[in-house]
Amino acid sequence: MVNQVKNVQIAYIGGGSRGWAWGLMSDLASEQSISGTVKLYDTNYEAAQQNAIIGNRLLERDDVVGHWEYEAVKTLKEALTGADFVIISILPGTFLEMKSDVHTPEQYGIYQSVGDTVGPGGMVRALRTMPLFVEIANQIKENAPNAWVINYTNPMSLCTRTLYHVFPEIKAIGCCHEVFGTQKLLASMLEELEGIQNVDRRDIKVNVLGINHFTWIDHASYQNIDLFPLYQKFVDKYYESGFEGENIGNWLNDHFSSAQRVKFDLFKKFGIIAAAGDRHLAEFMPNTWYLQSPEKVREWKFGLTPVDWRIGRSKELYEKGKRLASGEESFVLNPTGEEGVQMMKALLGLGEIISNVNFPNRGQMAGVPENVIVETNAMFRYNSVQPIHSGALPTSINNMVLRHIHNQEMTLKSAMDCDRPLALSAFKQDPLLSSITPEEAEELFEKMLFNTKNYLPGWEFETVIK
């Protein structure tokens, strides 16, 4: 008989999502050991209502083993009251602000493949996101202080850091699947070089160190095989062409694909495995390395993700949502590969799991300040997340990580104090801006800040920046 925990209460902030929310529905529908209610809160109440209809339709299906009821609520307090878990997955601002984040720097020759974590786009996105997370943290403190909080919103490090800054006793983690992709790459390597078929990425054991989207692996094994010597051969074999498996040329058409050439180059430079997607890794380095121009990006076989594509995709998902809610289209159960549900199960006492998470540094990662958000492995068990001691990164890599950590700390303080000079100082020091002058960086900063002013309470704007 399967052990069960019933009446689990989940508050979903960003519950109108047509991405993460549908993924959570799919994962919960396939899990029979926990059941309960998901309260969907979103600033777009109609979108949350639509998702409630879609989620509740699953109760009628024979192929659904998880019993979950979905309820759209109008206030954050209503969502949080009684919550065992809080999931945060929001879009800070609109696509208009995102367009400025990603494309305004192109006027200065600065290209970003994602624009949501570091670089000029990541920083300005952070400045408008942190006031939202201040409010969320205060509401959790008041209405659900003992709930476990799982954040999926980017910029992951600063969002999670803000939660702890406002409410130090919060039980929050940030979850990201980028390391999973590297485990899958290592599984493909085993098939390619050793003929070992059907390796589950979970059986690739790795030690994770770094910060979100700039994570590194200094130990990797499969059963009794040390994967580092194999990875060296793998990199040597595919360094020039890249490795695409059966998806040759897919990076040309899929904004989320790459040929892993950035990963391979970083391994050659630093000797350990970079464990995030190429699109993210490239943004942490000086822009002359991988993001100097669209032509340079194509040479490295990854892509820039234009916001117009995201807008078009959003419209497609909007129409799909209407079809799902009306019953015109059937909801396809498609496991996400995320570990959020497994984490919740472990926290409820249903087993244990080790996974990589973003969590305050309490000694698990050496060589960086305490309390900053780092990404390492952690053990999940009943009502406990225990970070695993992961050691230290090589000095050459740790210096780069520290630069971004200090920039993030400056960004946090500037957001809390509405300190424009401090924000500008952090902005100028980002490696992606290394090819422009300080004067150009300040001009770009003012333009981008003005374009996101609607989400910057307490900041002053005297002139219109064109």
Cα–Cα distances in angstroms (integers) from residue 14 to residues 11, 123, 306, in the given order: 9, 21, 23
DSSP 124-159: HHHHHHHHHHHHHHHHHHHH-TTSEEEE-PSSHHHH
Instruction: Give me the count of residues in the chain.
Output: 466
Helix (H) or strand (E) holding 38: strand 34-41
Radius of gyration in angstroms for the set of CA atoms belonging to the chain, rounded to a whole number: 22
CA 260 to chain centre: 19
Catalytic residue among 177, 219, 255, 406: 177
Cα–Cα distances in angstroms (integers) from residue 201 to residues 181, 206, 217, 337, 387, in the given order: 8, 10, 14, 10, 21
Six token digits for residue 217: 């692996």
Degrees, nearest 5: CA angle 147-152-157: 95
Neighbours of 416 (CB within 10 A): 15
**Contact 149/170 with Cβ under 8 angstroms?**
yes
Neighbours of 195 (CB within 10 A): 7
Strand 68-73 relative to strand 34-41, pairing: parallel
Six token digits for residue 99: 């367009």
> What's the CA gap between 422 and 426, in Å, rounded?
6
Cβ partners under 8 Å of residue 328, min gap 6: 322
Cβ partners under 8 Å of residue 46, min gap 6: 16
Residue 272 has phi, psi (to 5 degrees) of -130, 170
Q: Is 177 a catalytic residue?
A: yes
- Supply the residues annotated as catalytic: 177
